[in-house]
Structure 1
Amino acid sequence: MSYETPGPVEAELRDAISPIEDIIEDARKGKMYILVDHEDRENEGDLIIAAEFADAAAINFMATHGRGLICLPMTAERIDRLGLPMMAVNNSSRHETAFTVSIEAREGVSTGISAGDRALTVAAAINEQNTMTAIATPGHVFPLRAKRGGVLVRAGHTEAAVDISRLAGLNPSAVICEIMKEDGTMARLPDLVAFAKTHDMKIGTISDLISYRTKNDNLVDETGHSTVTSEYGGDWDMRLFTDQTHGVEHVVLIKGDITTPEPVLTRTHALHEASDLLGLGPKPAGELPRAMELIAAEGRGIVCLFRQPRNALYAAEDDGPRTIKQTGLGAQILNKLGVEELILLTDSPQTKYLGLDAYGLSIVGTRPILTSET
């Protein structure tokens, strides 16, 4: 099993990480910066610049020195205004990066691939006065759709780049590019530190950005509290939390005293009517009741039930993951409950949960659900 939690980092590498306030200030000044998930020497990094400063020189620098795919994270609202469909209807990529179809400026470009042409495409895409008529598809710039709520919903570079531009008072968009070494392998933190020194850049972490936003923003409010009795596990303390991004209520069922310091047995479950009620699709219908029974037998634990906004009842082609991978809302809820260490109930122990450390949470183990013995 593996989790996205920080590994050991030498002092000189840790000292190379700049406070997120400094990253925001550099973004405001139009400087390029590097962002990693957290202080882990195996982390990969992205070059990022606020999109309104992404001129031909910046694009050329990314292509020459970054060497990765150059992308354009934008808000969901901006993507919708440009009328850009998603590249994949059912996103099964490992990190669920939300690519739309590629784009080109409709006017003023030649082949579209030059640094100048791509800078012109970026400028056309982020210009709030422009609509879909200013953009052609396909092209040589790859927009990414950021989740509403930013890194507090999904701890990804897409959301982080948009958040930092917004916090800097700029157009909420950015141009990003993964950093590769000359041999074509991904640059890791020691390589990134050397890269940053060579090019006079700062390195920031998404974990620090989450911590910064957690102190200043609140995406979940507790809106209800009662005691309920279920066929699965008897009596539960039920608490309702509403997320401010979509106005959706999420349900938390608590068994026993979770305020003691021992790790808390926890199940996070994305509610899906087709699977949970009708037994349709690839996931077994018995996961949720079985998890409740296991926690009841333990005498202490939490079940977090996440409702999805605008979720279709059933899509025959939908074989994507049901597990919540954008853990921001769940992490905020668990943080509000005072939980610190979790033992996760899951039959997918390989799933990685990003940014939990920013909420003071850590996964210390897992237990299976449907393969467990009573």
Structure 2
Amino acid sequence: MKSYISPIEDIISEASQGKMFILVDAEERENEGDLVIPAEDANDNVINFMAKNGRGLICLALNDDKVDSLGLTLMSSNNQSRHETAFTVSIEAREGVTTGISAQDRALTIATAISDNSKSTDIVSPGHVFPIKARPGGVLVRAGHTEAAVDIAKLAGKNPSGVICEIMNDDGTMARLPELIEVAKKFDLKIGTIADLISYRINNDHIITKVGNEKIISDFGDDWDCFVYKNDLDKAEHIALVKGRIDSDDIIPVRVHSVNIFEDLISINPNRKNLISKSMNLISTFESGVIILVRDTNEGALLNLLKKYSNNNIKQDNKLKEYGVGAQILIDLGVKKMNLISDTNAMPINLEGYDLEITSRQPLEEVK
């Protein structure tokens, strides 16, 4: 199946010519795929094609500046969807549409929304077009189709927006790679992967900067270094705790931990108490190891967490698509192969795009 995957440079070239393509997570996975096209090229024929042959939800991927300029609010202030896809309220062009659902009407709504001259008064809600807000930093921060669509449009010299639609089979099930290949052959579409896009951007972009490091002495030994990294996009600072010497040829024990002040400091969730110290205790038994502490500094992050606890919704979210910052820190530290310290078997998608390999897993639940 590898022969059906086009280099990301070819996908960018297709986008620059206003052509549609299929985007999947990675070539070796039986994953889902989306039809994708730069939004400025999404005319009524494109919308009709997506509705007829994609069959999924037709969405408009926008960057945060455009979402803000249009005054679009997120559909939910407490996003609990599996991948935290940032849907805004649905929209419609204020002028020129009829019912709003036709291919012509949706194409007009998209053109109105992405116009450089568009204002919040040019659209109304609700409507029949579903905008999704891409994360700043694109696939280097969140490896989703939303971010990929915006990234590719920008790389192609287009308006930084895209129209995407999941591909479903005739029976309503999600099309996997073998079916996606058949769709690509039938309609002469190229297939690209988000993993390849990540690799491409890593070779051309970098979003984290090491701003300082100090030796530290802890309850788990004195052979630890603390590095502080800054995200150049949102200026958030993240921590890397490193024990020993990191050799790229070695398999390094690694814990990527999303810092949660309620669980890590206040122990509001007894099932997730002392995870950082447990990780340090475990790594202290190895010659070397790394703990990445990723902080969520988005506006309202603490309030949203507090609401989850007040609703007794304390299940741990697996933010599998947001390994971008942690992955770039690991690369900077020289990690290539890792023994991932985690109590879940979930696989961080597109990690291979960062040239990082999970060779094994180490549960934390057994650590006292």
- Smaller-chain TM-score bracket: over 0.9
What is the Cα deviation at residue 323 of structure 1? 4.9
Whichever residue aligns with residue 338 of structure 2, its letter is L
Task: Give the one of 339, 352, 358 matched to 1:343.
Answer: 339
More displaced stretch, 266-275 vs 56-65: 266-275
Q: Which residue number in structure 1 is paired with residue 361 of structure 2?
A: 366
1:8-19 → structure 2 map (5 Å cutoff)? 13-19=1-7
Structure 2 residues not aligned, in runs of 5+:
none
Secondary structure, in 3 states, of the residue corresponding to 1:214?
Answer: helix
1:95-147 superposed Cα distances (whole Å, 9 cap, x missing partner): 22111111111111111110011001101111121121111111111111101
What is the Cα deviation at residue 232 of structure 1? 4.4
Number of equivalent positions: 360
Secondary structure, in 3 states, of the residue corresponding to 2:105?
Answer: helix
Contact preservation (8 Å) 1:341, 1:362: yes
Structure 1 position 316 matched with structure 2 position 312: no
Contact preservation (8 Å) 1:242, 1:250: yes
What is the Cα deviation at residue 176 of structure 1? 0.5
What is the Cα deviation at residue 260 of structure 1? 5.7
User: For the residues of structure 2 that align with 1:283 and 1:146, how far apart are their CA atoms?
Assistant: 32
What is the Cα deviation at residue 250 of structure 1? 1.2
User: For the residues of structure 2 that align with 1:344 and 1:296, how far apart are their CA atoms?
Assistant: 15
Structure 1 position 356 matched with structure 2 position 341: no
Whichever residue aligns with residue 359 of structure 2, its letter is V
Change in Cα spacing, 1:292 to 1:362, as seen in structure 2 (3 Å) is same
Change in Cα spacing, 1:316 to 1:258, as seen in structure 2 (3 Å) is same
Q: Which residue number in structure 2 is paired with residue 134 of structure 1?
A: 122
Whichever residue aligns with residue 337 of structure 2, its letter is E
1:176-215 → structure 2 map (5 Å cutoff)? 176-215=164-203
Q: Which residue number in structure 2 is paired with residue 120 of structure 1?
A: 108
User: For the residues of structure 1 that align with 2:136 and 2:269, how far apart are their CA atoms?
Assistant: 27
Between the aligned residues of both structures, percent identity stands at 50
Secondary structure, in 3 states, of the residue corresponding to 1:245?
Answer: coil
1:290-301 → structure 2 map (5 Å cutoff)? 290-301=278-289
Whichever residue aligns with residue 346 of structure 2, its letter is T
Q: Which residue number in structure 2 is paired with residue 60 of structure 1?
A: 48
Task: Give the one of 227, 250, 257 matched to 1:262.
Answer: 250
Q: Which residue number in structure 1 is paired with residue 327 of structure 2?
A: 331
1:231-253 superposed Cα distances (whole Å, 9 cap, x missing partner): 34444111221111111221111
TM-score normalised per structure 1: 0.92
User: For the residues of structure 1 that align with 2:92 and 2:245, how far apart are their CA atoms?
Assistant: 56
What is the Cα deviation at residue 324 of structure 1? 4.5
Contact preservation (8 Å) 2:34, 2:166: yes
More displaced stretch, 165-174 vs 80-89: 80-89
Contact preservation (8 Å) 1:295, 1:301: yes
1:24-39 → structure 2 map (5 Å cutoff)? 24-39=12-27
User: For the residues of structure 2 that align with 1:223 and 1:53, how far apart are their CA atoms?
Assistant: 42
Secondary structure, in 3 states, of the residue corresponding to 1:176?
Answer: strand
**What is the Cα-based RMSD across aligned positions, in Å?**
1.7
Whichever residue aligns with residue 188 of structure 1, its letter is R
Structure 1 residues not aligned, in runs of 5+:
1-12
Structure 1 position 163 matched with structure 2 position 151: yes
Structure 1 position 175 matched with structure 2 position 171: no
1:59-98 superposed Cα distances (whole Å, 9 cap, x missing partner): 0000001111100000011111111111122222222211
Whichever residue aligns with residue 53 of structure 2, its letter is H
What is the Cα deviation at residue 273 of structure 1? 2.0
